[in-house]
Chains A and B, each alone.
Chain A
């Protein structure tokens, strides 16, 4: 098992109180696995992705542990965590388009970051240019400022830069949402390529776009309101979801070849609960068509089939 997350709780500090964005999640990612992390916006998926590498000022570690390659990740300790960042865990951030310093040439910036991590830039440069070529960028970009690159080029440059030190785990946070559909597909395929070539061992792809995950993910983890709902192989989640939320989520997706004049697209009635004072028990119960009295208790996230985890009383 490459990554093991045990009962992780990370809250957001706001003036009104703590928002329980990530409230006790337990799961694992195997070596070589590309795990998709899906859910509505505000469900805590980005919080989960970010908390594995960098807790920003307003994020507060509350409880739980993270293990990567059998080593404990000190995610709560900003300083200790630096040893693991980039080399063991890396991220392609949501804001990849603006992640590059506007007043530094890309090559110079890369040199400064890499050398600051104690790695010799010159010995890594040939590999760097080789990987840039792999994503369709000539090494001219090293002599350019980010302003001179298109959005897609910046995104690819950041992908290469983020994975240059061959991290064990890569977090890709909503990296396709700012792109047009054809570029989305190319970027998603590059991620698979990176894994296949061993640039990264395993990957966590955070997105709200299930169709992208269907293309590239081995497994999909679905989150709802700070809790895990379901995890299984991508095919299983898409074709045989067992959690009522996942089912509704899947059925609300448009399907190829179906004319929606006949079959109406349905959303999920209601809104997710506010996580400032979340309800007890199953957090989906207010919107769940199958809810019953047992749902006032929080359902455990347990394996109902091989590699298939569900948190729903109906499935136990």
Chain B
């Protein structure tokens, strides 16, 4: 693996995984005298920097607010998302906070239900993708050799095939997917970049002495992986989960927008799909399609910003810049 590849395998770059984790930055020619700060417990040190990190606080606040809307929102809805009322096509009012659709359904009720779906999809998709990524990444990085060759090849194949395209075929043939099934499918298709990143991280960890010691003492491989390797990259794993969580929400929004999502539950993507197919856009019914998009942008953007903050907390080098 080249230098640049390793950098890329940090949770760092580009459109696919927007977040900062420049890994260990290159060492400058300085010998910093050891300050007394070192003696403070590391856990408290993280907390100390965490509560002082504006990006982390901002991102976390946005996500928490969205989460609260997802939890409490549906309880406040006066209508069911599928219920037809007598006011059609009406802009936001005190009766319909977010207005109604062209056939008289309450947009707020749909929105609140959609928020719940978004967090559900994100959680299911994020957890499943993380588990697969960990299984593949840890095994490939730890075992090396032929196992690594095969797993890397599989990872690369999944990496090239666009997840949404496979979802397109699957969902196209399934008559109706439920939120959990959609989450499962999204999770099973969005793990490859994370597995590749974990493999590289595991490689570099395995090269360190303490893992070698554990190996020499003939411990069980999975025991070493979960006792020694995983805890040493827990911050990395957490940040990876956050990105997979946000990614699952974005991918499912695409699928739902095409009309292949759940039929009997509301999602934010489905709202945009209905607004689009029922000319909500042409009729200028902004209250219909603006809220779901803002919500997705807020959740995903909040997660990204949170990740940048977390990265600064976990990586002292970024902190002092």
Contact = CB atoms under 8 A, between A and B. Distances in A.
Interface of A: 12, 14-16, 19, 21, 41-47, 50, 56-59, 93-95, 98, 102, 173, 225-226, 272, 274-276
Contacts of A226: 33
B28 A56 contact: yes
B320 A42 contact: no
B42 to A, nearest CB: 15
A274 B30 contact: no
A155 to B, nearest CB: 14
B284 interface: no
26 contacts: A14-B32, A14-B35, A14-B37, A15-B320, A16-B35, A19-B35, A21-B33, A41-B31, A42-B34, A43-B33, A44-B33, A46-B29, A46-B30, A50-B29, A56-B29, A58-B30, A58-B320, A95-B27, A95-B29, A272-B33, A274-B33, A274-B34, A274-B35, A274-B36, A276-B33, A276-B35
Nearest to A21: B33
Contacts, number: 60
B54 to A, nearest CB: 14
Say whether chain A's binding surface is mostly helix, strand, loop, or mixed. loop
B26 interface: yes
A274 B319 CA distance: 21
Most buried by A among B27, B33, B37: B33
B33 A15 contact: no
Given A14-B37, A102-B3, 4 more contacts: A46-B29, A56-B28, A56-B29, A274-B34
Nearest to A45: B31
Contacts of A274: 33-36
A21 B31 CA distance: 9
B275 to A, nearest CB: 48
Given A58-B320, A102-B3, A12 B29 contact: no
B246 to A, nearest CB: 30
Nearest to B28: A56
Contacts of B34: 42, 274
Interface residues of B, number: 16
A50 B30 CA distance: 8
Contacts of A225: 33
A173 B3 CA distance: 25
A47 B31 contact: yes
Given A58-B320, A102-B3, A12 B28 contact: no
Nearest to A99: B29
Interface string B1-41: 00100000000000000000000001111111111110000
A42 B31 contact: yes
A42 B33 contact: yes
Interface in B306-321: 319-321
Contacts of A276: 33, 35-36
A102 B27 CA distance: 16
Contacts of A98: 26
A44 B256 CA distance: 61
B248 to A, nearest CB: 36
Contacts of A14: 32, 35, 37, 320
Contacts of A93: 29
Given A102-B3, A276-B36, A46 B31 contact: yes
A16 B34 CA distance: 12
